[in-house]
Amino acid sequence: MNNKKVVLVVGAGDSTGGAIAKRFAQEGFVACVTRRSADKLQPLVDGIRAQGGEAHGFACDARKEDDVIALIEQIEDQIGPIEAFVFNIGANVPCSILEETARKYFKIWEMACFSGFLNAREVAKRMVTRQRGTILFTGATAGLRGASGFAAFAGAKHGIRALAQSMARELGPLNIHVAHVVVDGAIDTDFIRDNFPEKYATKDQDGILNPEHIADNYWYLHSQPRDAWTFELDLRPWNERW
């Protein structure tokens, strides 16, 4: 059991997070994936197993410290060492600053920033003792600049980018690779298909991001030799304005 290598994907949705878990599983990693509802994870887990991989799904509220600590301990004790950790929770909820409530603003920050701190901290404690590991955060355009109607989301994503920077500078000398991925563009999801049909229509021209291609870049970051580590990688379609 101790010879197994685990990738933990927190926020393993049907798009990017799931694709990342599948990509690492293809390389022999045990994919441990989380969402608040375990039932929604079953198709992903079954798909990885059908391809000959090993996968385990966990229901976990990433905002609750005790739940996060218990999850990390369970994976480390019962499955194997977490060699790669991916934080992929979004919480992209638009709202005018004039109508934003304190409750919703705080919830978005909890989901997209605070939970990243909790999970990354617990994983980092284990990685440091082994003197190896990769920690990857999924960022967004909102982490670089705030847009009208997205104050809460931009604040959270700016926060997770700052967390990633601080962790990279502290943990890099301890042989822990921390990186932040800026996903700048629409991703091939049901949400984009149903709500932005004109944008989705550019899929045939490579105008939206393919989750599998995003996942390839996460594997690339994990595979980098430590004499040439990337901290920040931005991904966007060729025709995206930036």
CA-to-CA distance for 6 and 200, rounded, in angstroms?
34
Q: Per-residue pLDDT tens for 157-171?
A: 999 999 999 999 999
Contacts of 199 (CB under 8 A, 6+ apart): 186, 192, 207, 208
Mean pLDDT of 29-37: 94
SS3 40: helix
The answer to the question of residue 59 being in a domain is yes
Instruction: For residue 199, count CB atoms less than 10 angstroms from its CB and return exposed for 0-12, middle for 13-18, buried for 19 or more.
Output: middle
Which pLDDT does position 14 carry in this prediction? 85
CA-to-CA distance for 33 and 60, rounded, in angstroms?
10
Per mean pLDDT, which range of 49-58, 164-173, 183-192 is the poorest?
A: 183-192
**What CATH number has the domain bearing residue 23?**
3.40.50.720
Which pLDDT does position 92 carry in this prediction? 85
In whole angstroms, how far apart are CA 199 and each of 153, 183, 194, 203, 214? 21, 16, 10, 8, 18
In the chain, the number of structural domains is: 1
What percent of the chain is modeled with pLDDT above 90? 88
Domain span holding position 46: 5-235
Which pLDDT does position 30 carry in this prediction? 98
Mean pLDDT of 189-207: 91
The answer to the question of residue 41 being in a domain is yes
Q: Per-residue pLDDT tens for 109-120?
A: 999 999 999 999
pLDDT confidence bin for 210, thresholds 50/70/90: very high
Which pLDDT does position 74 carry in this prediction? 97
The answer to the question of residue 240 being in a domain is no
Contacts of 193 (CB under 8 A, 6+ apart): 200
Go through 42-76 and write b for each residue having 16 or more CB atoms within 10 A of its CB, e for each that does not.
eebbeebeeeebbbbbbebbbbebebbeebbeebb
Which pLDDT does position 233 carry in this prediction? 97
The answer to the question of residue 150 being in a domain is yes
The answer to the question of residue 242 being in a domain is no
The answer to the question of residue 191 being in a domain is yes
pLDDT beyond 70 at 2: no
At residue 114, what are phi and psi to the nearest 5 degrees? -60, -40
Q: Per-residue pLDDT tens for 12-24?
A: 988 999 999 999 9
How many C-beta atoms surround the C-beta of residue 207 within 10 A?
Answer: 17
Mean pLDDT of 8-15: 92
State the chain's mean pLDDT as an integer.
95
Q: Per-residue pLDDT tens for 74-102?
A: 999 999 999 999 999 988 888 999 999 99
Mean pLDDT of 137-159: 94
Mean pLDDT of 189-195: 87
The answer to the question of residue 120 being in a domain is yes
pLDDT beyond 80 at 1: no
- Residue of 43, 36, 39 lying closest to 18 (CA atoms): 43
CA-to-CA distance for 200 and 11, rounded, in angstroms?
23
pLDDT confidence bin for 242, thresholds 50/70/90: confident
Per mean pLDDT, which range of 46-50, 137-141, 190-194 is the poorest?
A: 190-194
Q: Which residues pair with 204 in a beta bridge?
A: none
SS3 215: helix
Mean pLDDT of 186-190: 90
Question: Position of tokens 């594997």?
Answer: 219
SS3 83: strand
Between the two ends of the chain, the Cα-to-Cα distance in Å is: 46
